Amino acid sequence: MIEWRREQDYRPYEPRQMYLLPPSPQEWLPESHLAYFLMDVVDALDLRAIPAKYEAELRGYPPYDPRMMLTLLIYGYCVGVRSSRQIERKTHEDVAFRVIAAGQHPDHSRISDFRRVHLAGGGRRCAPDHRGASRHESAA
């Protein structure tokens, strides 16, 4: 007969334990993570043309920060998540997407609208086109 180990032999496991202070999202990913790199790259871009599109519109609630939206899309392309609905879901479930979104959860329709309005070709120009690259390589 196998004797079951006593509870004190295990490491503590209390998934419902409340934190005294909430953890910082900066602690959730290693410093070298792709999400941080992409946030730095997007921060360095000149995105002044994007807010100009919204200035003429009368809106009730302000749009999401274009840096966050662009970083979500680029990171999604990098990890193979291109669907607006999947990106929305990932902002709830995936640590890297949550860090990029800074705790916000843009609706899939907002993500889709941002892509349609601000990224030519539905964002496909931002994603690598391996077929096009091989075509250019064979022509050279």
Let me know: does 74 contact 81? Beta carbons within 8 Å: no
The per-residue pLDDT for 98 is 95
What's the average pLDDT block by block, 10 residues per block, for the chain (140 residues)? 62 82 84 96 91 73 90 98 97 96 95 89 43 37
Task: Give the C-alpha separation, 93 to 97, whole Å.
Answer: 8
The per-residue pLDDT for 77 is 97
Task: Give the C-alpha separation, 135 to 124, whole Å.
Answer: 17
pTM to 2 decimal places:
0.73
Domains of the chain, residue spans: 23-55+62-123
Backbone conformation region of residue 101, classed left if phi is above 0, alpha if psi is from -120 to 50, else beta:
alpha
